């Protein structure tokens, strides 16, 4: 049952499509709407978390910022699903490569998320929940990337609450990279857990913005405007 508006989204019932793209940055949401949507209409400005609905190739679709980290992603994905009936949520954002074979600007399709966060633990489950994506969305994303000839990787990401890791907290044992984890980011575990609980579909698509292995990185301006391949893939599968 829809309950609108929600505490953090001012949209009226029916103003948000069943499929939505979720960048962290609200300015990226605005850029996506203005660049790719036909006749975009803004539905949210609460807390400056901009959201828009329009059409792409004749299909109704929305885009909205979520902010950074699991708590913020948890709030917005929950309200979109339970308040507005959103059924397909696709996170589009950036991630840091954890392996040498994952290059800057490669695409990551997050099949699963290793939760280096307490977000999922607070659900009170009797064990550790495996946060995984929607396979139909993943399959479509891989097909779209292959059709476009884009470099991509499918596998686990690490969802962490820390952007800056204190030097003393870095242990010398096994790392997530040793377990084949592709990249680090900050939202996917919350998105996948909320979607699983509600029976919604979710997928994270990230562009590698920097490498923790090689030290290569992109600028903030590039992260805002240049990752258009990721957006095109997300739009095609939504």
List, by residue number, the catalytic residues. 210
The Cα 162–Cα 238 span in angstroms is 30
CB 7 within 8 A of CB 16: no
* Location of structure tokens 């919350």: 190
Tell me, rounded to whole angstroms, the distance of Cα 29 from its chain centroid: 12
């Amino acid at each position: 049952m829809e309950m609108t508006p929600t505490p953090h989204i001012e949209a009226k019932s029916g103003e948000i499509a069943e499929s939505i793209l979720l960048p962290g940055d609200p300015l990226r949401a605005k850029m996506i709407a203005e660049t790719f949507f036909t006749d975009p209409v803004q539905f949210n400005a609460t807390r400056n978390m901009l959201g828009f609905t329009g059409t792409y190739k004749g299909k109704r679709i929305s885009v909205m910022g979520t902010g950074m980290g699991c708590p913020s992603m948890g709030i917005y994905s929950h309200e979109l699903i339970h308040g507005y009936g959103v059924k397909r949520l696709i996170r589009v954002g950036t991630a840091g490569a954890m392996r040498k074979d994952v290059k800057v600007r490669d695409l990551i399709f997050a099949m699963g998320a290793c939760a280096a966060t307490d977000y999922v633990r607070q659900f009170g489950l009797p064990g550790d929940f495996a946060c995984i994506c929607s396979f139909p969305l993943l399959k479509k994303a891989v097909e779209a990337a292959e059709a476009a000839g884009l470099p991509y990787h499918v596998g686990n990401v690490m969802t962490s609450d820390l952007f800056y890791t204190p030097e003393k907290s870095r242990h010398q044992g096994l790392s997530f990279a040793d377990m084949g984890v592709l990249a680090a980011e900050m939202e996917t575990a919350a998105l996948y857990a909320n979607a699983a609980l509600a029976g919604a579909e979710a997928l994270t698509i990230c562009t590698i913005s920097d490498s923790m292995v090689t030290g290569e990185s992109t600028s903030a301006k590039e992260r805002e405007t240049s990752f258009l391949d990721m957006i095109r893939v997300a739009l095609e599968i939504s």
